[in-house]
Chains A and B, each alone.
Chain A
């Protein structure tokens, strides 16, 4: 399989502190990879670095996407290359309506997706200022609506199910599924690659997973079968990861 994304010995700092301390990770084309790790280990920072947010400075290492070195590429060019991100805590955009952004950002599919907004329980939010006063679940659904219009080839999903109540988890799970699978052509299977941060693994019920990574203290601690990793973490917590040398990279 060809590599979609590869992160090579990536070091990055934010707020004057080194947060990523040599991250190595690959996502192959069509692959769904999950990323586990304790709070504060640097998972969200890694995603923001891959997306290109400038509050994080890469000090060494590389990010290769579809064979291209994108380490120094501005955010919009990464988006145009096919990277999309569901942020854990997206910023409030005062004065800009959600519907307007979708229309401007996705001239081809924007309107069609907006017409479908009720399927995301978002029709009442299109005239609202983006993220302003949105609840946890509303933020997820808004991010999903935007990504559905954007149609990225590779998606970074930062805790898609966290803060979502039971009633909405199906909706989120199914919409994430739709993003990754070509529903128009079921035979084709998965066509979009992804890296997904999850604590509970719940999202895996909807999208499966091919590979799992565990991040600790700014590094990838181990990688392996995602279900087994999850079982291990649920049983022994992340402390055991230190002891486990078998699948240590």
Chain B
């Protein structure tokens, strides 16, 4: 059991990175939400679609939706091996779930995790039972719907031994809830011989603060993919999801960001390669349209035969912001192969002109290169996500 006193003390502990956010500026988010039976007809459907959550739930195994701090929709196609419900409900039916609570993220990490812990935040619970392969993605949508409030959620995803899942989560803010704060703790557990592709697509408000805390624990011979996409303006976003890998497992972190004017984004991935022969790739692609962008990546090799690569590339399209790439490699044994690459600059003019020489206008050429830059050279994106991403990029208004 956590020592509540220590957690209360952590309420004043600033995050390791990113500007400090005064939690007292915000009211608690509502724990009461309208229950939506048909997402298509809800006023939120347009916001959902922008973040990859399909309102008619076609080709989706199920949908969980939260508005502020309360569940508002949960539906799943009849599907053996898949369980999804609000965490509060899951805790009532699964005694064993306690063992997964606060094991991948520490409540005393900083004030944001402490807040979630002390408030006993609700969130989504998704579990795939051992041996089941869930064909279509499960989707979750987090709507921030009330201005000046904190959305504070706690999610748990469990993919048991020999199981596989693809999950798409979309986070969105209603236009009137621009000045709000999203704090989400997500704990993700992938068993042995299992796989999980976890994609997060975001669409916040220009002033929204975002401080998610995500921890993933991966067993043996499993694969974990983490895709993080933010293409629209946000106030301040800081996130540094971490992952531990056991023997023979792999992790792939893809980050795709656009830092618009007024946005301050600090994100990346941290992987502990604890098992022999585990491997990791952290790929970050970002564009500064006059905003501040910091791409972090940290790989820690703790076991022999570990292979890891880190790649941060950034294009600066407009002056006025700043861009930094912070790649870190750390090895504690000799037999590792760990590399990194970082590049920051503008789009090469000869590339733009090459496409123009085929008849594309300058704008078409730039957007084609930018699209390719953000997603095209990243491997392992689920086809479904690739489509969502193309759509999001085309709506991201890259021009002036």
Q: Is A207 close to B, CB under 8 A?
A: no
With A53-B353, A129-B377 as known contacts, state yes or no: A95 contacts B359, CB within 8 Å: no
With A79-B359, A96-B368 as known contacts, state yes or no: A53 contacts B374, CB within 8 Å: no
Binds B, one of A60-68, A98-106, A237-245: A98-106
| Neighbouring A residues of B361 by C-beta, 8 Å | 76
A97 to B369, CA, bound (A): 10
A14 to B348, CA, bound (A): 16
Q: Is A85 close to B, CB under 8 A?
A: yes
A74 to B376, CA, bound (A): 27
User: Distance (Å) between the CB of A174 and the closest chain B CB?
Assistant: 22
B368 engages A76 (CB within 8 Å)? no
- 156-191 of chain A: CB within 8 A of chain B: none
User: Distance (Å) between the CB of B394 and the closest chain A CB?
Assistant: 12
User: Distance (Å) between the CB of B361 and the closest chain A CB?
Assistant: 5
- How many residues does chain A have at the interface if contact means C-beta atoms less than 8 Å apart? 30
B373 engages A95 (CB within 8 Å)? yes
With A91-B348, A91-B351 as known contacts, state yes or no: A105 contacts B376, CB within 8 Å: no
User: Distance (Å) between the CB of A215 and the closest chain B CB?
Assistant: 21
With A74-B362, A104-B360, A150-B359 as known contacts, state yes or no: A94 contacts B354, CB within 8 Å: no
Among A85, A95, A150, max chain B CB count under 10 A is at A95
Q: Return the contact of A94 from the options B349, B356, B373 (Cβ within 8 A).
A: B373
- 79-97 of chain A: CB within 8 A of chain B: 79-80, 84-85, 87, 90-97
Q: Is B371 close to A, CB under 8 A?
A: yes
Q: Is A218 close to B, CB under 8 A?
A: no
| Neighbouring B residues of A101 by C-beta, 8 Å | 355, 358, 368
With A55-B350, A91-B354, A93-B351 as known contacts, state yes or no: A76 contacts B359, CB within 8 Å: yes
- 336-388 of chain B: CB within 8 A of chain A: 348-351, 353-362, 364-365, 368-369, 371-377
| Neighbouring B residues of A93 by C-beta, 8 Å | 351, 354-355, 369, 372
With A95-B369, A96-B368, A96-B372 as known contacts, state yes or no: A105 contacts B349, CB within 8 Å: no
Q: Return the contact of B372 from the options A51, A79, A129, A146 (Cβ within 8 A).
A: A129
Number of A-B contacts (CB under 8 A): 82
The binding surface of chain B is classed by DSSP as helix
A75 engages B356 (CB within 8 Å)? yes
B356 engages A150 (CB within 8 Å)? no
Q: Return the contact of A91 from the options B350, B358, B362 (Cβ within 8 A).
A: B350
User: Distance (Å) between the CB of A249 and the closest chain B CB?
Assistant: 29
A101 to B352, CA, bound (A): 12
Closest to B352 in A: A75
Knowing that A75-B357, A76-B356, A95-B371 are A-B contacts, what are 13 other residue pairs whose CB atoms are under 8 Å apart, sorted by A's residue number?
A: A54-B349, A55-B349, A74-B362, A75-B356, A79-B358, A91-B351, A94-B373, A95-B377, A96-B369, A96-B371, A97-B372, A106-B358, A129-B376
